[in-house]
Structure 1
Amino acid sequence: MKKIVLALVLATFALVGCGGEKDTIAGASGDNKKVYEVKFAHVVSENTPKGKAANFFAKRVEELTDGQIKVHVFPSAQLVDDDKVFQELKRNNVQLAAPSFSKFTPFAKEFNLWDVPFLFRDTEHLHNVMDGEVGKILRDVISSKGYIALDYWDAGFKQFSTNKKPIVLPSDAEGQKMRIMSSKVLEEQTKAIKAIPQVLPFGEVYSALQTGVVDAAENPLSNLYNSKFYEVQSSITISNHGYLGYLVVASEKFWNTLPQDLQEKFTIAMREATIYEREESAKEEKVLLERLKANDKTSTKVYELDAAQKQQWQDAMIAIYPKFYDLVGKELIEKTINTK
């Protein structure tokens, strides 16, 4: 019951933040004879938390609308990848997508916030940020670019892995070649611990780790395990130093064709899918951590930070926050830190 109440309360909040008044004036109620077709494109497999949630949403929104909205899910970049999905959303060739946060940064610099290291105290704090004032500010930024920003889905906190000296303290990273995504924040994070940042596409990471082009990487456990990085990394540190996530966005052209009652049902189904996705992500993380600890084939040593070690990391990273003020915004960082 608690989850149902939470879903309904947050659904109302999410609807308010989904693009402004112009998006909800299409009509008071839907035409019972009209069926709206939705193509939902994403780049991961169906058995991941995001893939499962996309299918959950498709089923739920059809139920809530008595079949007036039919969602066709295209996983594993079958339809389009995340680098091209924004133009397809603009053209309304795709109606729904869930790109990772990094894909938004070229046109919404505020989204670099999610890369700021040790900014989120724990999962509860993270979700309070997403579902509160900061999350709404960031959704509004995306809505101002001509998309309908719906809700945030989890990929997970990032962990360090390496095939050299285990990265338990900041000083352990010195001199190690660290693979990162293209991000000014991640570049500064890497330099702060005297590691050497190496920007590489995700698809090249395994071979780069295997051949020594890079020594270390940072990934959620789902990426690390499913891509078998444990085969070419000798240690993993459960650092939770950064975060990866997704923002589900809709085509503005499509959204404006939906009558208001269908927009509301769409938003409720999305909030239910969000709660489901976050639960699945948390469950998967626990399972994968146990596998990495127990399964001999991974051949990796798992390190977990104690309070004193984590404090060393936080001190090192908080010291570089001023470098991000021009990029992300000092006020946005402070609002995030102060979120209860």
Structure 2
Amino acid sequence: MKSMLTCLGLMVLGIATALFIGFHDRFTSEVTYYDDEQEGLKDQIVFKFSHVVAENTPKGRAANKFADLVYKKSGGSIKIEVFPNGSLYSDNEEMNALQNGDVQFIAPSTSKLGTLSPEWGVLDLPYAFTSYDAVQKGLNGKIGARLFASLERQHFKGLAYWTNGFKQLTSNKGPILSPDDLKGQALRIMPSSVIEDQYRLLGAYPRQDSFNSTFQLLESRLVDGEENTISNIYSKKFYNVQDYLTISNHGYLGYAVMTDERFWNSQTEKTRSILTEAMKETTEWNESSAEQMNKEQLEEIKKNSAISIHVLTKAEKLKWMKRLDPIYGQYEPVIGRGLIQELLSLRRQP
């Protein structure tokens, strides 16, 4: 009897010990211990930056650089999550997402902003800028200031202008040397009445559609061609589904980096200071690197593609400018005489 009680006691003690060990192991495995660095991550602020182009483009690279600079300048306390290629929102959805607080930064093409104010159409005028220097003079001067002021009515805040470059023409219907060569061609364009009327003036059939639908439209032959910068033609491989490329530099493509005014005002002075400083450095870097990137990627297209490339001569370009000049008069009542005259004065500068 005594030995039976002893065995029973040992059994109970063993079960209790096992339960204690199991409870201790489970407890310690579930507890999260923080060192000083991990403790700081609990207070990290995360903002979202949505855009629709590839990462190896001027905008894509600038967005990533901005995120890197913010992280470094804030000591890791502010993180910018970048969502490229329309992976979060399409270019038709970005502005609503910004207003709803679903993202904190976007960088739509300036053509998209004509839906907010017709004044933005000034940047879509044909041959609006004749050089990268002219672009910077215009956007860092009266034109850029006036356009950012127009965003305030919708409670948007313009933070910077990022440059991609100048637009070129691609097509599957023969080389495009003169304005008449576009007659009858269907072309994908950005949503912009100014751009649409340019092509209608030349007898083409413009189709406004989102950027990320362009490759499919070209591949399925729903359109004959499109207009874009070299970096976009290269990164999205439009040259694989197009036979002809004309270096026309007929239009400017850039982006307005924007945030919601209410979001911006709700941030601390320190946070705004970090974001502003990082944006300034990123913009200066973008201005110096975009032109070079387009040049390098044109060389890559030449190496890796059979697409036929024609560069407009000075005489050919003057013919294009003359044919498209009536658009300026047509849109002066819409855009405003002051903005157009400011633009034309830049165009006349050497």
- Residue identity opposite 1:208 in structure 2: L
CA distance in 1, matches of 2:338, 2:128: 14
CA contact (8 A) 1:90 1:253 kept: no
CA distance in 2, matches of 1:321, 1:278: 27
Query: CA 1:148 to 1:207, structure 2 compared with 1: closer, same or farther past 3 Å?
Result: closer
Q: How does 1:216-235 map to 2 (within 5 A)?
A: 216-235=225-244
Q: How does 1:183-202 map to 2 (within 5 A)?
A: 183-202=192-211
- Matched residue, 1:332: 339
- Matched residue, 2:121: 112
Q: CA RMSD in A?
A: 2.2
Which stretch of structure 1 is more off in the superposition, 187-196 or 203-212?
203-212
- SS of the residue 2:335 aligns to: coil
Say if 2:277 is the partner of 1:263.
no
- Matched residue, 2:223: 214
Say if 2:318 is the partner of 1:281.
no
- Residue identity opposite 1:316 in structure 2: R
- Deviation at 1:34? 7.1
Query: CA 1:96 to 1:181, structure 2 compared with 1: closer, same or farther past 3 Å?
Result: closer
What percent identity do the matched residue pairs reach?
37
Q: How many pairs were matched up? A: 306
CA distance in 1, matches of 2:183, 2:71: 53
- Matched residue, 1:89: 98
CA distance in 2, matches of 1:147, 1:324: 25
Which stretch of structure 1 is more off in the superposition, 126-135 or 329-338?
329-338
- Residue identity opposite 1:149 in structure 2: G
CA distance in 2, matches of 1:193, 1:156: 23
Radius of gyration: which is bigger?
2
- Residue identity opposite 1:227 in structure 2: K
Say if 2:316 is the partner of 1:316.
no
- Deviation at 1:68? 4.5
- SS of the residue 1:105 aligns to: helix
- Residue identity opposite 1:104 in structure 2: L
- Matched residue, 2:112: 103
CA contact (8 A) 1:40 1:95 kept: yes
Query: Residue 303 of structure 1 is aligned with which of 303, 307, 310?
Result: 310
Query: CA 1:256 to 1:310, structure 2 compared with 1: closer, same or farther past 3 Å?
Result: same
- Matched residue, 1:250: 259
- 1:96-132 deviation digits (Å, cap 9, x = unpaired): 1112223322122211222111111111101211111
Which stretch of structure 1 is more off in the superposition, 306-315 or 210-219?
210-219
Runs of 4+ more than 6 Å apart = none
CA distance in 2, matches of 1:214, 1:110: 29
- SS of the residue 1:138 aligns to: helix
- SS of the residue 1:99 aligns to: coil
TM-score normalised by L of structure 1: 0.82
- Deviation at 1:308? 0.8
- Matched residue, 2:144: 135
Unaligned runs of 5+ in 2: 1-41
TM-score normalised by L of structure 2: 0.80
CA distance in 1, matches of 2:279, 2:228: 26
Of Structure 1 and Structure 2, which has the larger fraction of its residues in helix?
2
Say if 2:254 is the partner of 1:240.
no
- Deviation at 1:311? 0.8
CA distance in 2, matches of 1:241, 1:281: 17
CA contact (8 A) 2:48 2:83 kept: yes
Query: CA 1:274 to 1:188, structure 2 compared with 1: closer, same or farther past 3 Å?
Result: same
- Deviation at 1:145? 1.6
- 1:163-221 deviation digits (Å, cap 9, x = unpaired): 22311111222222222223211121112222222334434433433444322221111
- Matched residue, 1:160: 169
CA distance in 1, matches of 2:241, 2:284: 34
Query: CA 1:38 to 1:241, structure 2 compared with 1: closer, same or farther past 3 Å?
Result: same
Say if 2:86 is the partner of 1:77.
yes
- Residue identity opposite 1:51 in structure 2: G
- Residue identity opposite 1:192 in structure 2: L
CA contact (8 A) 2:156 2:261 kept: yes
Query: CA 1:51 to 1:190, structure 2 compared with 1: closer, same or farther past 3 Å?
Result: same
CA distance in 2, matches of 1:320, 1:85: 29
CA distance in 2, matches of 1:314, 1:184: 18
